[in-house]
């Protein structure tokens, strides 16, 4: 779960680059005709959304899978409780139970066990490992760092602490430290898929070497065939490069998790960027069938129909996007333009105004409103 959160967090950090690229594209295409300018404004938003591991934060809808807390099997907790019943002062077992509680998001119970374990034996690596995990869960990064550093000082080969420190350093963009930690882990275990996955992220963001990063992501998948986060990273990275292998990795995820509507969205975005409209529409439709609240897929289908000059169909799809998420400036803008092309200036004006209300600095809607008000 933490690795999935890490890959999503890192994807958001890359938006600065994508926004700069989008701004460059807008400057480059100022000579477009009015129709193409409208489509380009809509496409820019799609470009930013499709270049991430998940739909943009504004567009992501909660699904039941995302809301579920990772609860450990009851047998894990039961077995540790049974061991502790005859050995209540065992610091290692208390720390291990605390880790189980943390996976269940039960911080209070974990805090009690960690406190007891620390009093019993403050020189046990697993105690600092568990306390670091609790601090990290509570967004106390500095405290987590100190505990994990203490952990590997006591036990230099503690893989959990080495990888946890790697993740922490990546998150705060201290890539040299992250690279040092992950390399130490690979010296201990050169068959660790998580280590290869993290090293790929470091190489991509620190060394700016996407080609080498892809090799590390592939190493992770070779070692763990069902490594969803690595498969997803391969798909997204290859899609950003326009590589025809991207759908292969998305489909591998769907073979294992067929209800992943967000993966269908990414697959649709890939095909749309390749101008394969039929395949894109098929993928976006599947996404909305699984998750009717997927505003991004409705919006993307609306955009495709707009490019095909099927304005009535585009209008209806933008409406579905708005129904899925009311605060939706880009869908209001798309529907407004559809109304305008259908000769319905009154409703076009209303939607442009709604777009501006949702995002006052959204220039395309401001310009459109000025255009039809003349």
Per-residue pLDDT tens for 283-327?
Answer: 999 999 999 999 999 999 999 999 999 999 999 999 999 999 999
Highest averaged pLDDT of the listed ranges 20-24, 68-72, 78-82, 169-173: 169-173
Are 337 and 368 within 8 A, CB to CB?
A: yes
pLDDT band at 374 (very low <50, low <70, confident <90, very high): confident
Whether the predicted pLDDT of 74 surpasses 70: no
The closest alpha carbon to 205, from 2, 58, 9, 48, belongs to 9
Find the mean pLDDT for residues 166-189.
Answer: 97
Say which residue the tokens 């799609």 belong to.
46
Alpha carbon distance 48, 57 (integer Å): 11
Structure tokens at 101: 């509680």
The pLDDT value recorded for residue 44 is 55
The pLDDT value recorded for residue 50 is 56
181-188, long-range: CB < 8 A, 24+ apart: 184/156, 185/159, 188/157, 188/159, 188/162
The pLDDT value recorded for residue 71 is 38
Alpha carbon distance 197, 229 (integer Å): 8
**DSSP secondary structure, 301-341, as one string:** HHHHHHHTT-HHHHHHHHHHHHHH-S--HHHHHHHHHHHHH
Find the mean pLDDT for residues 167-179.
Answer: 97
User: The whole model's pTM is what?
Assistant: 0.79
Structure tokens at 168: 């922490």
Tens digits of residue pLDDT in 324-361: 999 999 999 999 999 999 999 999 999 999 999 999 99
Can you say whether residue 309 is alpha, beta or left, with left for phi > 0 and alpha for psi between -120 and 50 degrees? left
3-class SS letters over 259-306: CCHHHHHHHHHHHHHCCCHHHHHHHHHHHHHHCCCCHHHHHHHHHHHH
Structure tokens at 38: 């409208």
pLDDT band at 121 (very low <50, low <70, confident <90, very high): very high
The pLDDT value recorded for residue 142 is 96
Whether the predicted pLDDT of 40 surpasses 70: no
For the chain, give the percent of residues with pLDDT over 70.
Answer: 77
Find the mean pLDDT for residues 46-72.
Answer: 44
Find the mean pLDDT for residues 3-28.
Answer: 44
Tens digits of residue pLDDT in 206-242: 999 999 999 999 999 999 999 999 999 999 999 999 9
The pLDDT value recorded for residue 195 is 98
Q: For the beta carbon of residue 219, count every other beta carbon within 10 angstroms.
A: 20
> Which of 44-48, 60-64, 237-241 is the least confident region?
60-64
Say which residue the tokens 């609306």 belong to.
302
101-106, long-range: CB < 8 A, 24+ apart: 101/77, 102/130, 102/133, 102/134, 102/137, 103/70, 103/71, 103/72, 104/69, 104/70, 104/71, 104/72, 104/77, 105/69, 105/70, 105/137
The pLDDT value recorded for residue 42 is 61
Domains of the chain (ranges; CATH) run: 18-67+244-373 (1.25.40.10)
pLDDT band at 79 (very low <50, low <70, confident <90, very high): low
Tens digits of residue pLDDT in 89-105: 889 999 999 999 999 89
What are the C-alpha distances in Å from 266 to residues 52, 119, 276, 280, 359?
9, 49, 14, 9, 25
Can you say whether residue 105 is alpha, beta or left, with left for phi > 0 and alpha for psi between -120 and 50 degrees? left
Tens digits of residue pLDDT in 134-165: 999 999 999 999 999 999 999 999 999 999 99
Structure tokens at 103: 């996976």
Alpha carbon distance 165, 125 (integer Å): 14
The pLDDT value recorded for residue 89 is 84
Alpha carbon distance 90, 235 (integer Å): 45
CA 83 to chain centre: 39
74 or 140, which is more confident: 140
Tens digits of residue pLDDT in 261-274: 999 999 999 999 99
Tell whether the torsion through CA atoms of 110, 116, 117 and 118 is positive or negative: positive
The pLDDT value recorded for residue 25 is 34
């Amino acid at each position: 779960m933490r690795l999935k959160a890490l890959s999503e967090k890192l994807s958001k950090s890359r938006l600065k680059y994508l926004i700069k690229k989008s701004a460059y594209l807008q400057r480059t295409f100022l000579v477009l005709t009015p129709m193409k300018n409208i489509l380009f404004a809509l496409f820019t938003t799609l470009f930013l959304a499709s270049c991430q591991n998940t739909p943009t934060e504004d567009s992501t809808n909660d699904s039941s899978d995302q809301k579920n807390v990772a609860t450990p099997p009851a047998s894990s907790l039961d077995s540790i409780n049974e061991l502790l019943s005859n050995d209540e002062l065992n610091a290692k077992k208390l720390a291990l139970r605390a880790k189980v509680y943390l996976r269940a998001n039960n911080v209070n119970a974990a805090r009690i066990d960690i406190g007891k374990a620390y009093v019993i034996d403050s020189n046990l690596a697993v105690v600092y490992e568990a306390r670091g995990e609790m601090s990290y869960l509570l967004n106390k990064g500095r405290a987590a760092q100190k505990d994990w550093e203490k952990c590997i000082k006591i036990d230099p080969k503690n893989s959990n602490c080495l990888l946890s420190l790697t993740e922490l350093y990546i998150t705060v963009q201290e890539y040299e430290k992250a690279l040092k930690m992950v390399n130490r882990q690979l010296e201990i275990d050169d068959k660790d898929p998580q280590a290869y996955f993290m090293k790929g992220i470091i190489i991509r963001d620190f060394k700016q070497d996407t080609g080498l990063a892809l090799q590390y992501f592939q190493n992770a998948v070779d070692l763990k065939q069902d490594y969803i986060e690595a498969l997803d990273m391969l798909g997204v990275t290859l899609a950003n490069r326009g590589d025809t292998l991207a759908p292969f990795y998305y489909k591998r995820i769907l073979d294992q998790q067929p209800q992943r509507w967000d993966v269908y969205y990414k697959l649709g975005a890939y095909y749309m960027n390749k101008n394969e409209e039929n395949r894109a529409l098929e993928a976006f439709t599947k996404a909305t069938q699984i998750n009717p609240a997927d505003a991004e897929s409705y919006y993307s289908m609306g955009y495709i129909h707009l490019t095909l000059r099927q304005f009535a169909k585009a209008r209806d799809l933008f409406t579905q996007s708005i129904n899925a998420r009311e605060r939706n400036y880009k869908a209001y803008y798309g529907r407004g333009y559809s109304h305008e092309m259908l000769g319905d200036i009154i409703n076009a004006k209303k939607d442009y105004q709604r777009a501006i209300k949702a995002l006052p600095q959204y220039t395309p809607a401001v310009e459109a409103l000025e255009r039809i008000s003349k």
